[in-house]
Amino acid sequence: MDPLHAPFEPVTLAIPFFVLTIILEIGLARFTTVRANYEPRDTLASLAMGLGSNVAGLITGGLAFAATVWVWQHRAFDIPMTAIWAWVLLFFLEDLTYYAFHRLSHERRFWWAAHVNHHSSQHYNLSTALRQTWTGGLAGTWALWLPLAFLGFPPAMLAIQKGVSLVYQFWIHTEAIGRMPRWFEAVFNTPSHHRVHHARNPRYLDSNYAGILIIWDRMFGTFVPELDAEKPRYGIVKNLNNFNILRVAFHEWAGIAKDLAGARSPGEVACYLFGPPGWSPDGSRETSASLKAQWAASQQPPTPPQPGTRS
Amino acid sequence: MLIQLAGSFVAVIALVALAAWAKIARPMVRLDADRARDLLGEEFPGKPLDDLWVATDGRGALARSGAWALILSEVGDGYVARHIAWDQALAASYCDGVLRIDLADVAAPRAHLALAVWPPQAVR
């Protein structure tokens, strides 16, 4: 096998599957009691983002691929594409890399700006899965996969495994599936786990970053289970007020630019760029941490008056 | 590549048409005070509502919570919420029964609420 050219592209092969399952989900919601909501303008925004993402990938994908090839040419080990052990090892390492990428993309604003569009729908259906980034290549998160190339995994292997991960994550963007068998929920990312990830309820913020395996969230303390008593509310903390795809794609970048223009010190510049989303110098904006704290405080029962004190 | 893009474009149009035909968006009903309170409670946990004004067309609401104005406005089959300083809400442009609020937010620059009167009589 050619280490530089993948013999197939999992995402391209899966496109007919994407289309057919969206048709199925809409049909089931229309004619049965299966839960799925599609707002046409929201659906158009999601699918247009997916289409635009392919075009954006053509522009920035070349740089990422060239960097991957260059690093692989300076690799530490020779890893054969034909060895089963190599694919098994790559499956775990790529999925761990995805976890790191995804966590970074939520917890630091510069990378959140490239990822936020995926969360900007107030719906959670299979079309939401295709609401992909236009600016991920510019944000440079592809660099997180370079250590795998340095280890010796050929660029073609990396491309295939990244594609497999993306295809896997398509089917979990649905409310039509409740919960999978317990053993599956324990090991794999599922619709239930990923609904939590897309929720903006304070309880669920910044959790379940998994790609294929949910074990990473369990290991690193970011796992939050879906509660029947608290249905996820989807979208972002500050939702968009229309379906304009340019706003979907670029609103956080525009917000960063506006903040940088008003920054008063290098420290503020750094924090506006690389602090948590919602960071502000005076703390007047809300971060995930402050929202969780407000919510936790609102859940506390009122403290009864202590004996001997006035009420 | 061009054929693939053209095919994808056709598929997008077909899927959106199917979604429109299916009519499976969330059912939206006019906001009333109870529903507005519930939604604002979800959006702003822990913030007590001192006063509430529901839009006359039922498509939004504005509440006062201390020094803040909490704003809820309809978009598609959902809502967008923001908070701004109460004084800023009081100073918002009001014309022909519509309050136009500058939210100073790239993601949601303005909110329009149909209100019978503004500012409210009690705080004029």
SS (H, E, C) A55-67: HHHHHHHHHHHHH
A241: nearest CA in chain B? B108
Q: Helix H segments across A74-154?
A: 84-107, 109-119, 126-129, 136-139, 146-151
Local confidence band at A308 (pLDDT 50, 70, 90 cut-offs) = low
Q: What percent of chain B has pLDDT over 70?
A: 98
- For residue B124, pLDDT over 60 is answered with no
Average pLDDT over every residue of B51-79: 97
Percent of chain A residues topping a pLDDT of 70: 97
pLDDT value at position A1? 78
Confidence label for A311 from pLDDT (cuts 50, 70 and 90):
very low
pLDDT value of residue A117: 98
Cα A292 from Cα A201, distance rounded (Å) = 9
Q: Residue B73 pLDDT > 50, yes or no?
A: yes
Burial environment of residue A232 by CB neighbours within 10 A (0 to 12, 13 to 18, 19 or more): buried
Helices (H) and strands (E) in chain B, counts: 3, 7
Mean pLDDT taken over chain A: 95
Give ipTM to 2 decimals: 0.93
Q: What is the pLDDT of residue B121?
A: 76
**C-beta of residue A198 within 8 angstroms of C-beta of residue A212:** no
Q: What is the mean pLDDT of residues B75-104?
A: 96
pLDDT of B122 over the 80 cut: no
User: Does residue B89 belong to the interface with chain A, where contact is any CB pair within 8 Å?
Assistant: no
pLDDT score, position B1: 77
Which of A105, A122, A114 is closest to A46 using CA atoms? A122
pLDDT class for A83, splitting at 50, 70, 90? very high
Q: How far apart are CA A125 and CA A77, in angstroms?
A: 42
Strand order in the sheet with B51-54: B51-54, B60-65, B68-75, B78-85
Which has the minimum average pLDDT: A235-239, A264-268, B31-35, B46-50?
A: B46-50
- Calculate mean pLDDT across residues B10-34: 96
Residue B80 Cα, gap to closest chain A Cα (Å): 6
Range of lowest pLDDT (A139-143, A285-289, A306-310, B117-121): A306-310
pLDDT at A249 over 90: yes
Residues of A (234-273) whose Cβ lies below 8 Å from B: 235-236, 238-243, 247, 251-252, 254-255, 258
Q: What is the pLDDT of residue A307?
A: 61
B67: number of CA atoms within 13 Å, CB side?
2
Of the listed ranges A68-77, A138-147, A253-262, A290-299, the least confidently predicted one is A290-299
**For all residues of chain B together, what is the average pLDDT?**
94
- CB within 8 Å: A39 and B12: no
Q: Which residues of B touch A43 (CB under 8 A)?
A: 15-16, 19
| Stretch A180-191: mean pLDDT | 98
Q: How many residue pairs bridge chain A and chain B with CB atoms within 8 Å of each other? A: 117
What pairing do the DSSP bridges indicate for beta strands B98-102 and B78-85? unpaired
